[in-house]
A = this chain, B = another copy of it.
Amino acid sequence: MTVRSPLAPENFPDLPPIDGVRTASLAAGIRYSGRTDLLVAELDPGTTVAGVFTKSLCPSAPVDWCRDVLAKGTARVLVVNSGNANAFTGSAGVDSVNRTAEAAAQLFGCERSDVYLASTGVIGEPLADGKIADALPKAKAALSSGNWTGAAEAIMTTDTFPKGATAKAKIGGVEVSICGIAKGSGMIAPDMATMLGFLFTDAAIPASALQALLSEAADQSFNCVTVDSDTSTSDTVLLFATGKAENDRNADLSDFKRALNDVCMDLAQQLAKDGEGAEKFVTITITGAENQMAARTIALTVANSPLVKTAIAGEDANWGRVVMAIGKAGQKANRDKIAISIGGVEVAKNGQVVAGYDESPVAEHMKGRNIVIEADVGVGNESATVWTCDLTHRYIDINADYRT
């Protein structure tokens, strides 16, 4: 029995339909019973697409597939299953991807290279893709607009709540919408931070411009979230733009960029809030770093430290472990200038505890749901912020018996 994360939003947000996108979610019986496990999205002709993927050197067969077809830049169908990742399945995995793409292309009357695939779940077991092929006609018959909750639920694995986000933007005076759904709660780390994420917009944006926008948005959001430092073989974020808003394709995209970043950030933070066993949402900001990369590396090292994460779980303002993590990050830091604040209260500066340090307001902060740790490493002017969660007993409960 899954307990909903205490950090979950109260409700799934209100996401509008996106013109040119219709989805269906159903139970194909791939692994789970009594729940949906297949998401199919049909995209109107003219839809452009961008994607970012896991940096794992052992990617899943669907990731290989998406990378291959992405060069063309157009999309008509998205097929996503949960329960089985189709990763480390050798030639069987490749065959299975080919069969599913072929079945979808035939059914929807498009090129195979307009079919996008994603799978999430157990690694190393052959995917029963026959069940997907069997379910596709039923999915086609059930397509509808705006059922984002159903879509977000169908792609969940150990997630305790469905994740969605939306924003509006103006392109050349025309209002466009972005809706996004995501899944992921463990095996989450930067490069990619993910998970699966699917974003849809009615904006008309050429594939190359769309790719640049998505790459940058993902870098500032999904790549700044970590749950357990583990990187999935299947991480995939796709952004589909149907063009139905008929905005000027040459208009300025800065407002769309802002909106896309907002949606990605919202989804990324929901991932951390659904980190396996998460009781606390943790924001870590590193300032005073030599450069951006150093700042983020240090921030992620703090965020991934099991000792920092267990201290937070124990509501212990153990800033010494933050220092330890800064020290092991391998990036320049001036030990004798380090300053640390927790919950906005200065704990240490110039490399030692502040005079007359009163732990009580910090201890109070540690009892809350939102923990904020800031550290200045005293060597430069660059900063980075990352998001994570604490490491609790439930993480172990979830992961010690995931397959059983």
Contact = CB atoms under 8 A, between A and B. Distances in A.
Given A58-B327, A189-B328, A318-B403, A307 B230 contact: yes
Given A316-B402, A320-B124, A56 B307 contact: no
Given A88-B352, A320-B122, A323-B87, A311 B399 contact: yes
Given A230-B306, A306-B395, A316-B403, A58 B311 contact: no
A128 to B, nearest CB: 15
Interface string A309-331: 01101101011110111111111
Interface in A49-98: 54-59, 85, 87-93
A142 interface: no
A47 B301 CA distance: 40
**Number of copies of this chain in the oligomer?**
2
Contact of A393 (B333, B338, B393): B393
A351 interface: yes
Nearest to A319: B124
Interface residues of A, number: 70
A58 B233 contact: no
Given A57-B327, A314-B399, A316-B403, 7 more contacts: A55-B328, A57-B326, A89-B352, A187-B324, A306-B306, A306-B399, A318-B403
Interface of A: 54-59, 85, 87-93, 122-125, 186-187, 189, 228-233, 304-307, 310-311, 313-314, 316, 318-321, 323-333, 335-336, 338, 348, 350-353, 391-393, 395-396, 399-404
